[in-house]
Chains A and B, each alone.
Chain A
């Protein structure tokens, strides 16, 4: 029988060893997958390097890919730190993108910075509204947040599919066919501006980093941050202390939803410049992995987000140069998550094998 014994003191070098081992095993499995698909492995890894790190352009592309992942990762950190298993980030990204798109049409003609601020604010608002919805379902009706958020994700994805596939936002040339399911391109002046002149790194990246720093201070240095962490450790004690845990849950889900909504804004107005499901799909679910691998800390999430952004950017080159299917990326991400989870157990517990099972 295998049982676990808690390690009394944490040993930094052991922890580092375990997590590096998880990375190495992850790479071996990745190489094995590539080999089993008949890919030239050195060529594939070279393509990965070329698409993610080799030039300024590649690095900026990686950071652009990292932007929404850092944001959805942060949304995960805020909720999961409080042991609220909201997986509504996916739907909140969609909601944020849609309400920001609405704002970009609604406030067309406003002065540039006011327009951009409204677009960004509406994006956060859209995500936050979905957060409110799951919080109310949990607080008032005791609906498990995992279930409610997943169901809302599916509903909102169908909603976008209608809005750009036959509904009012369908691309004008596409109304009768609705093949592509996308909106018209966003107006030039609604696009998030590039940070350094001609290079393509957009404002969203700055927004993501600032959000992460803000989350860091919020979680570790404010009373609300204390409540988030206390909720994760012992919600009953938090209630006895006099905190209204229903309110805390509501605020946490609003914050988490707003951050995820921003991810939708950065993706639509920074990168794809059109409202379409294809651009948004999976950002929320990947964010869960990013937040988890970042150790549920804001700064760890930045690092994990950038690594995964590089992976996504490099995957384009791997597809073209080494004919590796792009679906390799979510596979690698899921694999690393599971290995990190196992490593987390090995870091915290001693694994003891005793006697026989009956």
Chain B
């Protein structure tokens, strides 16, 4: 256990935090856009698995990582389109839609994966490389933690202010936020509620798909069926705990990522404490966070309520 407090291990835990944060942050920030538009999308987990699986197939087939990332985003957008059709056009219950989709995609990707490998060994790919920022990366400790990461990690962090700007400083952002609070106002102005909800969920699910692609290409060299292991759900919790504000969501994601990074390192070090306890920690922490932060929620008033004229 004391091995956990050596300098090298601590650096590795912190660097791991940023790496593990990346996919959850993409999904959480994307889902934030969706939820501000009034759609309680529970299909984040499924969207993420789909993004991961599609990027796996493309990476092994084409050997091109940019293409793999792009196809992960596209597959997320397609999922968003389906969720938008069910929730915005057909007004099916948002929870049920998301749950159904998670179950379907979990099975479907597993089925396709089995067919893809045809009983043999799963093909592998070379994952994303780290990118050292010149000069900054040579700063002791900080350089290793912050400036020797994969480029997508920086993009994920950058997405927080960008989405924040989009939601609060642009006309489209205003309209999307309005959908979550009072869709009638948009409708009365003669603007299409459905169109804007579709845009929000396609942006959100595209980012979730990107998160799935990073989860695939940034951590592993082959697909496995339970790859996401609840990260999509953690993204949803991060939004609630972060009170639907970009900064708050970012902070909550960091907490989960840190706990998960600790869990991974405990398993590697082989401490006496059962590793399962540490893996359960992010989920336990999420419940505790929700209890502690229950006051003053900022939940969009019409979140999850289908809009009928």
List chain A positions with a Cβ less than 8 A from chain B.
Answer: 1-4, 33, 37-38, 85, 87, 137, 141-144, 146-148, 150-152, 154-155, 158-159, 161-162, 165-167, 285-286, 288-289, 292, 325, 327-335, 337-338, 341-342, 344-345, 357-358
Contacts and interface: CB of A to CB of B under 8 A. Distances in A.
Contacts of B42: 146
A162 B111 contact: no
A141 B291 contact: yes
A148 B290 contact: yes
Nearest to A85: B95
A358 B233 contact: no
B136 interface: no
Interface string B221-261: 00001000110010011001000000000000000000000
B274 A151 contact: no
A337 B104 contact: yes
Q: From DSSP, what is the main secondary structure of chain A's interface residues?
A: helix
B108 A338 contact: no
Interface string B107-123: 11011011100000000
Contacts of B114: 325, 327
Contact of A331 (B111, B236, B237, B297): B111
Q: From DSSP, what is the main secondary structure of chain B's interface residues?
A: helix
A341 B92 contact: yes
B280 A158 contact: yes
A338 B104 contact: yes
A330 B110 CA distance: 9
Contact of B233 (A2, A38, A137, A150): A150
State the 9 A-B residue pairs at the shortest beta-carbon distance, nearest first: A334-B104, A330-B107, A325-B114, A331-B107, A327-B110, A162-B276, A327-B111, A334-B103, A158-B280
Interface of B: 42, 86, 89-92, 95-97, 99-101, 103-108, 110-111, 113-115, 190-192, 194-195, 225, 229-230, 233, 236-237, 240, 274, 276-277, 279-280, 283-284, 286-287, 290-291, 294, 297, 308-309
Contacts of B284: 151, 155
Nearest to A151: B283
Q: Which of B97, B100, B240, B284 has the most CB of A within 10 A?
A: B100
B115 A357 contact: no
Contacts of B86: 338, 341-342
Contacts of A337: 100, 103-104
Contact of B290 (A147, A288, A333, A358): A147
Contacts of B225: 327
Contact of A159 (B92, B229, B276, B286): B276
Contacts of A345: 90-92
Nearest to A33: B111
Contacts of B240: 144, 147
A209 B309 CA distance: 43
B304 to A, nearest CB: 10
A333 B277 CA distance: 33
Contacts of A152: 283, 287
Contacts of A38: 115
Contact of B286 (A147, A292, A327): A147
Q: Which of B105, B284, B287, B294 has the most CB of A within 10 A?
A: B287
A3 B309 contact: yes
B106 A162 contact: no
A327 B107 contact: yes
Contact of A292 (B90, B96, B195, B280): B96
Nearest to B46: A334
